[in-house]
């Protein structure tokens, strides 16, 4: 028991020393890995029949593994008594998905779930029919791949436009003067702001 206690203290001391460096890596690495994962999410449906698909899939899995490793490492650092405070701590908490207000979590779920629901609501009939009639071969159909690509693009646009607003909502949730009712009122406004941001992004991307 004594040896185990000393070993635990030694590991905690090592983590405490490495914490500032790990926090900086997570501060830069989590957004980078997340952006790359979104980009590859769009490319994978286009490459189902391509020889590049295994490489893109490997890169996508690698991005998610790196994202999870950085997230759990950051959470371990933030659990230490020497964890930073103030605005820097709020930023790190956002990246670690730690100590989020329930309204912020609900907004994130909405950003991920609502775009596919919106697409499937108008296109689920032919997608279901294609799956029932063709089975696994539907994955090689150009129309089905186009549908998957559209869902991936919608997710990319939704998160690209919505995550900055989600961060603002998270920062507001940390202010003592901000009531919980106001945070829930801001969630629909966040979705409206995301739609506006997506429209602006599409307009910018399609400029000649």
- Mean pLDDT across the stretch 99-113? 95
Give burial (CB, 10 Å; 0-12/13-18/19+) of 176.
exposed
Q: What is the pLDDT of residues 25-65, one digit of tens each?
A: 999 999 999 999 988 887 776 666 655 567 777 888 899 99
Cα gap 26→152, rounded to integer Å: 25
pTM, two decimals, is 0.84
Average pLDDT score, the chain? 83
Q: What is the model's pLDDT at position 106?
A: 96
The total of other beta-carbon atoms located within 10 Å of residue 155's CB is 19
């Amino acid at each position: 028991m004594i040896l185990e206690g000393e070993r635990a203290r030694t590991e905690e001391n090592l983590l405490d020393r490495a914490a500032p460096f790990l926090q900086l890596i997570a501060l830069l690495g989590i957004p980078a890995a997340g952006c790359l994962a979104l980009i590859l999410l769009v490319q994978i449906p286009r490459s189902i029949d391509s020889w590049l698909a295994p490489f893109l899939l490997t890169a996508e899995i690698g991005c998610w593994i790196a994202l999870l490793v950085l997230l759990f490492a950051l959470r371990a650092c933030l659990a230490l008594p020497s964890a930073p405070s103030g605005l820097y701590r709020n930023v790190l908490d956002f990246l670690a998905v730690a100590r989020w207000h329930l309204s912020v979590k609900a907004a994130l779920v909405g950003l991920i779930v609502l775009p596919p629901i919106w697409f499937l609501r108008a296109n689920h009939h032919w997608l279901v029919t294609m799956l029932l009639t063709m089975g696994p071969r539907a994955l090689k159909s150009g129309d089905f791949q186009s549908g998957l690509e559209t869902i991936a693009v919608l997710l990319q646009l939704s998160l690209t436009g919505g995550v900055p607003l989600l961060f603002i909502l998270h920062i507001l949730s940390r202010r003592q003067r901000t009531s919980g009712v106001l945070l829930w009122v801001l969630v629909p406004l966040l979705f409206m702001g995301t739609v506006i941001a997506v429209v602006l992004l599409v307009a910018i991307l399609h400029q000649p």
